Structure 1
Amino acid sequence: MTPSAIHIRAYEAADLPCLSAIWFEASRRVHGFLGEARLAAQRQLIEDSYLPKAETWVACQAGQAVGFIGLLDNFIGGLFVDPAAQGGGVGQALMAHALRLKGPLELEVYAANTQALRFYQRLGCAETGRQAEDSEGLPFAVVQLRYAPVLAGAPARAAAQGLTDPTIAPKD
């Protein structure tokens, strides 16, 4: 995908099919260890509960949804970017938007999802803990992270990564 300006807007019900597809394709690539059947079951939960009930923000390029972030207060329930748009600043823009809205953020990542762990480490997230099991008690280790770049004394890094970019559209 050719890089273009990233616009972030609030989730709309019409986004559901596209965001579900983004979630599924990204999850198949980085959460393959969960297995196809588990991912299919999780997809149903994403469609029925998570996307419509969380505070979901959608990143668009050239009018097309390319990623989203779901917030539960200051907890990031999920951040997913279309694999074709990864590496183009979409994830950083979504993190910057969430940081402006909520301040310091908390999140969990599967330990086996090394791609996401590297992304969050590059942004300056600090590890706050680990669990041997996921939230359902299954043997999938998770890493708990905190994202507070300015509070951690890293405003220059945040600015250098575009995390203070004013071009993100505010929520109506």
Structure 2
Amino acid sequence: MASLWLEASCEAHDFVPDSFWHAQRSAMQEAYLPSAENYIYEQEGDIKGFVSLHEATLAALFVMPMSQNQGIGRSLLDHAKSLRPVLEVHVYRKNVGAVRFYEANGFVIVGESEDTHTGEPEWFMRFG
């Protein structure tokens, strides 16, 4: 999952240097993913995407770049929504595709902040 996270993060967040994501890989693999509820989307034995939940927080939702726009993200999000009546997520404002995806799936922007690690502005979105 950490490899998928790294590839998808570099692709989706091209406004953040790739070196930042590479520096975060071990923390993602050793701390963040093990502390979350993770659900994997597999196709023919290959991991195509995953969603990670931490209480009511949608901590991660990533789909392999070559597998995007095939309904995988929506399937993962629908599964997360079936488990949690309320979900919250922070999304970089510059990640317009993700913002539109969440809005199309019932999330609304309820606030804004700045990511403490990257300094990038982000939206706070909520479902339910």
TM value normalised by structure 2: 0.93
Match status 1:71 vs 2:24: no
Instruction: Determine the C-alpha separation between the residues in 2 that align with 1:135 and 1:146.
Output: 20
* Matched residue, 2:8: 26
SS, match of residue 43 in structure 1:
helix
Q: 1:58 offset after TM fit, Å?
A: 0.6
Instruction: Show the counterpart of 2:95.
Output: 113
- The count of aligned residue pairs is 128
Please point out which of 98, 106, 116 is paired with 1:135.
116
Instruction: Identify which of structures 1 and 2 has the higher relative contact order when contacts are C-alpha pairs closer than 8 Å and 6+ apart.
Output: 1
Q: Higher strand proportion, which one?
A: 2
In 2, Cα distance between the equivalents of 1:87 and 1:46? 25
- SS of the residue corresponding to residue 52 of structure 1 reads coil
CA-to-partner distance for each residue in 1:78-121, whole Å, 9 max, x for gaps? 10001111011111111111111111211110111111111111
Q: Name the larger-Rg structure.
A: 1
Selected match of 1:81 from 63, 85, 89: 63
Unaligned runs of 5+ in 2: none
- Give the whole-Å Cα distance in 1 for the aligned partners of 2:12 and 2:18: 12
The CA deviation at 1:139 is: 2.2
- Give the secondary structure class of the aligned counterpart of 2:33: helix
Counterpart CA distance in 2 for 1:83 and 1:73 is: 27
* Alpha-carbon separation, structure 2, partners of 1:105 and 1:92: 14
Which runs of structure 1 show a deviation greater than 2 angstroms over 4 or more consecutive aligned residues? none
Matched letter for residue 128 of structure 1: V
DSSP-derived class of the 1:135 partner = coil
Percent identity over paired residues = 34
Other structure's SS at 1:33 match: coil
Q: 1-side partners of 2:66 and 2:119: how far apart?
A: 30
Letter in 2 for 1:144: F
